[in-house]
Chains A and B, each alone.
Chain A
């Protein structure tokens, strides 16, 4: 197992960001000035008055936290792949994982998903798991109608 290998010789700014995020749920609240489109602010006020949200600040904080979670998770993965390129899963494997997590009907059709992934990236190099599953669904329907 490669669990506790050598420590990072220098503190990576990403680690500092992760440390800050780990503590993001605690500590005092501070006021901050955020510029919002006037209509967005008005919509938020309406949502609050309807009881749909507790406060604009709370929702804005949650949104910021969720967005930072996604961005940092991506950065952590990219750093891991730079150190361990062999660890990066294929698009097909990610698409299958997405299908499993979301109960997609093709979740158990690994070969079809792999074929779709191979074909879809030829047209769209930036394709993601959802694109692959749409392509795989189309492939399956095409074959069913041809049969």
Chain B
């Protein structure tokens, strides 16, 4: 059985506020959010092992329809991280336990889904919910990158 050569060594997830900052040129943290995209490119050029993903519930909460084309919204390349049956169950548990938004619960479920040997970072400006999600799913080693 081949090893999982597709798996990147680091996964970076964006939360709702990070996505909103990215897609809205008028957002006060638009430039800060773009700095993380620039930093991701630096990492990819040197290490080639970074995977940048947006949980789909986060994209819904941020109201980002990627089929909508506007010259003002940068068409950045992201992989969607969709909910599946397993992550939906974990997200439901997190939402019930912590009373967080569906988007944050999905974020937490995706953190839980990351392989133990894979590093994970979350780009956010929320000092509370993403961190508590990571702790709740026993991934307190998740790096919180604040905008």
Give the interface of A toward B (CB within 8 A): 1-8, 14-15, 18, 21, 51-54, 59, 62, 66, 69-70, 72-74, 76-77, 79-80, 83-84, 86-89, 93-98, 100-103, 128-130
Contact = CB atoms under 8 A, between A and B. Distances in A.
Nearest to B42: A129
A80 B74 contact: yes
Given A1-B24, A21-B77, A89 B38 contact: yes
Nearest to B72: A5
Interface string B21-64: 00111110011101111111111111010100000000000010
Contacts of A96: 35
Nearest to B121: A101
Contacts of A76: 74-77
Given A3-B73, A100-B143, A101-B123, 7 more contacts: A4-B70, A51-B1, A52-B3, A53-B2, A54-B2, A70-B41, A84-B25
Nearest to A96: B35
Nearest to B146: A100
A111 to B, nearest CB: 16
Contacts, number: 134
| Main SS class of interface, B | mixed
Given A70-B44, A130-B42, A54 B71 contact: no
Nearest to A7: B69
A44 B44 CA distance: 22
**Which A-B residue pairs are the 3 nearest by beta carbons?**
A89-B35, A98-B39, A97-B39
B145 interface: yes
B36 A86 contact: no
A5 to B, nearest CB: 4
Contacts of B50: 101
